[in-house]
Structure 1
Amino acid sequence: MTSVAQFLRSKASQTVWSTQASASVYDAIAIMAHRQVGALIVAHEGRIAGIVTERDYARKVVLMDRSSRDTPVRDIMSSAVRYVGPEQTTEECMALMTAHRIRYLPVIHAGQLIGMVSIGDLIKNQMSEQEHTIQQLEHYIHGNGLQATSGRLQAGRWHV
């Protein structure tokens, strides 16, 4: 099982992007678009105040016919932020995301934000681990003479 710490070390970018609670939703969405991310940590007075996602924008601005330029991030962010620690496994992250229908988890260690994992990151990681397992099994099967052979069994031995 891969720990979140191991997973974070393997990510191409470990930068966690953020915005202020007082910023406009438009500015937050512009950051997400420019940085090609789907969520931002929301800061207020140097602390994590929440998280804002593309889903928040779609449901709380677009569908409610609000103006993204006039709506502050604090009005649409999720203030109850679920997070994980670096010692937790990627499987635990996926279970938490599935149970709570969320797509992003900040990673916090000793009170400090050290990373962010997305459901897309975790799925990509899981696919990579499965591919590695398949390759190992194929190597074991083909590399250790466990290939299928034709022959007949006599007294507990194969005769070809």
Structure 2
Amino acid sequence: MTIIKQILGTNRRRILSIAPDDSVYNAIKMMADNNVGSLVVMEGGKLVGIITERDYSRKVILKGKSSPKTMVKEIMSTHVICVHPDETVKECMAIMTDKRIRHLPVIVDDEVIGVVSIGDLVKSIISDQQFVIEQLEHYIAG
């Protein structure tokens, strides 16, 4: 079974973060520029929250707020569910399904070392299944 450490090793993405006092507009722009759906919110090198496209749509747009005037800290989720790099893809999928979230920061000793998305996990599962299919085809063909 694939573990999160393996996914992070293949992605080699820098961790995209924003400060709680930055504007939501800057957060959304950073997400759009980097084609991601979330940013970790860091203050003094410490994880203090996460902001997602879902937060933006539900807590800014639908409430008639202004993106440039609203601060990240006003809409970010402060109860951040995190995982360890030794967790399996299956365990993380269960967490995401149960908590209805799409992004999981990966933490070691209170330091964010990466973020995995539901897309990263699905891609890993498909790759694992493709490998099994190829092995079975090889076995059947002799």
| Percent identity for Structure 1 against Structure 2 | 50
Q: Which has the larger radius of gyration?
A: 1
TM-score, with structure 2 as normaliser:
0.97
Aligned to 1:10: 10
Aligned to 2:116: 117
Give structure 1 stretches of 5+ with no counterpart: 144-160
| Equivalent residue letter for 1:44 | E
Large movers: runs of 4+ above 3 Å: none
**Larger RCO (CA under 8 A, 6+ residues apart):** 2
Partners of 2:6 and 2:26 lie apart in 1 by 32
Give structure 2 stretches of 5+ with no counterpart: none
Partners of 2:8 and 2:43 lie apart in 1 by 25
Aligned to 2:93: 94
User: When the two structures are aligned, how many residues end up with a matched partner?
Assistant: 142
SS in 2 for 1:63: helix
Higher helix residue share: 2
Partners of 1:2 and 1:90 lie apart in 2 by 6
TM-score, with structure 1 as normaliser:
0.86
Partners of 2:45 and 2:5 lie apart in 1 by 24
| Equivalent residue letter for 1:5 | K
SS in 1 for 2:27: helix
Aligned to 1:38: 37
Partners of 1:6 and 1:69 lie apart in 2 by 38
1:55-108 per-position Cα deviation (integer Å, ceiling 9, x unaligned): 000000011110000000000000000000011101100000000000000000
Aligned to 2:24: 25
Aligned Cα RMSD in Å?
Answer: 0.8
1:18-61 per-position Cα deviation (integer Å, ceiling 9, x unaligned): 00000000000000011111100001232111000000000000
